[in-house]
Amino acid sequence: MELLIQAGIALAKILIVITVMLLTVSYLVYFERKISAWIQNRRGPNRVGWYGALQPFADVFKLLLKEDIVPSNANKFIHSLAPFITLFVSFATYAVIPFGPDIKLFGRTIQLALADVNIGVLYVLALTSLGVYGLTFAGWSSGSKYSLLGGIRSSAQMISYEVSMGFSIAGVILLSESLRPMAIVESQYGFMWNALIQPIGFITIVVSAFAETNRLPFDLPEAEPELVGGYHTEYSSMKFAGFFLAEYANMIIASAMIVTLYLGGWQFPYIDKFGLSMGLTAGIQVLSFLLKMALVLFFFIWVRWSIPRFRYDQLMNLGWKVMFPLSLLNLIWVAALIMIFNI
């Protein structure tokens, strides 16, 4: 019986998270279009539904109804597998991100995270490094040189920036002395947000997150003038939708990770001092997590429509010669803080 209840709770959490994720992804696309329209002083989608609110569903139907074209000299098996790998990685990553404190419901404690893994941070890193495979396989199996170059570009880019991302995460781990996302969030009580303690690390992780998600200014795999559509040039219909979905899911995960690691996660500064009831506190904390995430996501979109694209060599130079040393510097900075203040 106990096992069944446990399984039921886990299943419920998974269902909620996946639904929220999928909805967020579709509306993220909508908001991206709306915000870009706003930035460029035009209207954006406004035909389907109220102010175009049903636009994402229309897009999905359009993609579903399109013909699925596989190039004749593509490797069929890997060609169809690649979007699944990408999607799997994006969704599996979300398992360890805590979106709220422990809550008491019907006499049992429920953690507001799908899994409170001891080495959650490493789990995310490992899965991110798996994400490369989706792109590489997609690029290779299409049997087109644009796809291949796009795939290799994006995976080289992801691998390069993974290094500085790893090191900026290391700074966080050094302070929290734990690889558990829950513990990392709890260590940022009050205003002890890592973004304030280690600003260099915050900068490097944000920049790396842009590169990891292949977003502008680092969206070289999709540089239209040179590479057509990059690794997904030869994809159409739902397979293309898979990549599209994964890109936005990755954005959500990246912002959730940034919030968890650097912006205090679900912590609302000093909320326990307000004397609110348990449920209300938890509600505010979950909301504050979502709000922070929304702000980071807005930042992502804002940057996309404001900054021009880097050239490929500039991107690599920035990654290896600026971001990587900076993230090392951040590590030294944190170590020095710990030495001096005995945090």
Partner 1 sequence: MNIYDIVFYLFAAITLASAFVVVTARNIIYSAFSLLFTFFGIAGLYVLLGADFIAVVQLMVYVGGILVLILFGVMLTNKITSVQIKTGTLQVIPAILGTALMAGVLIKIFTGTNWHSQMAQYPTKTTAYALGHILLTDYVLIFELLGILLLIALIGAATIARKEEKAS
Please give the residue ranges that form the binding site for partner 1 (CB under 8 A).
75, 78, 118-119, 122-123, 125-126, 128-130, 132-133, 136-137, 139-140, 148, 151-152, 155-156, 159, 162, 179-180
Alpha helices (H) along the chain: 2-39, 55-65, 76-93, 120-141, 145-176, 181-186, 194-197, 199-212, 224-227, 237-262, 278-304, 312-317, 324-341
Q: Closest distance between partner 1 and the C-beta of residue 130, in Å? A: 6
By beta-carbon proximity to partner 1, the closer residue of 66 and 145 is 145
- Structural contact between residues 157 and 214, judged by C-beta atoms closer than 8 angstroms: yes
By beta-carbon proximity to partner 1, the closer residue of 174 and 337 is 174
Instruction: Give the span between the Cα atoms of 62 and 56, in whole angstroms.
Output: 10
Q: Closest distance between partner 1 and the C-beta of residue 327, in Å? A: 16
By beta-carbon proximity to partner 1, the closer residue of 165 and 271 is 165
By beta-carbon proximity to partner 1, the closer residue of 35 and 175 is 175
Q: Closest distance between partner 1 and the C-beta of residue 320, in Å? A: 12
Instruction: Give the span between the Cα atoms of 148 and 138, in whole angstroms.
Output: 8
For 225, residues 6+ apart whose C-beta sits below 8 A from its C-beta are none
Q: How far separated are the first and last CA of the chain, in Å rounded?
A: 44
Q: Closest distance between partner 1 and the C-beta of residue 134, in Å? A: 12
Q: Closest distance between partner 1 and the C-beta of residue 181, in Å? A: 13
By beta-carbon proximity to partner 1, the closer residue of 163 and 284 is 163
Task: Show the tokens assigned to 138.
Answer: 């997609």
By beta-carbon proximity to partner 1, the closer residue of 298 and 320 is 320
The DSSP annotation for 294-317 comes to HHHHHHHHHHHTTSPPPPHHHHHH
Task: Show the tokens assigned to 78.
Answer: 């890997």
Please state the φ and ψ torsions of residue 161, each to the nearest 5 degrees. Answer: -80, -15
Q: What angle do CA 206, 195, 157 make, to 5 degrees?
A: 20
Q: Closest distance between partner 1 and the C-beta of residue 262, in Å? A: 21
Q: Closest distance between partner 1 and the C-beta of residue 125, in Å? A: 6
Instruction: Give the span between the Cα atoms of 221 and 232, in whole angstroms.
Output: 9
